[in-house]
Amino acid sequence: MGAGPHWSCISGCGACCRLDPEQRGEALDALSEEQRQLYLSMVGADGWCRHFNTGSRTCRIYADRPGFCRVGALAQLFAVPPEQGEAFAIACCRQQIREEYGGRSLVMRRFERSTRQPGGQPAPPAPSEHQNQP
């Protein structure tokens, strides 16, 4: 890890598993038609992924989840330069966590701790043009 921000998925979050198309239009727009159909087939009646256990906040298919569910695909899906990939992923997670659990939630505090740079400084926000992505 270099001196830049470090993205890390935290257990017990799942904010990105809220797939409600009404809330995730930008995500749908970034997908191919085949990916879009798979995405839509994964949306449960409550807007959460049908593979996400909301009680335990775990994914039932984590090892076999689709490519668009993997943070490594975010930069490519949204045409973000690789050197901005970590900051973009952090911004996406912050947005999703804020929307699902709140900006002062325990989940957000845990996520912020996970993104700390060496020296204890929180990761900076991503470039502003990407702030509204998932």
Q: What residue numbers bound the domain in which 89 lies?
A: 15-126
Q: Which token pair is 91?
A: 């911004």
In a domain, 6, yes or no: no
Would you say residue 111 has pLDDT above 80?
A: yes
In a domain, 5, yes or no: no
Would you say residue 133 has pLDDT above 50?
A: no
In a domain, 50, yes or no: yes
User: What element of type H or E holds 94?
Assistant: helix 85-101
Q: Which pTM was predicted?
A: 0.80
The total number of structural domains that make up the chain: 1
User: What element of type H or E holds 34?
Assistant: helix 33-42
Percent of the chain scoring above 90 in pLDDT:
72
Phi/psi of residue 48, each to 5°?
-85, 155
DSSP 8-class letter at 48: B
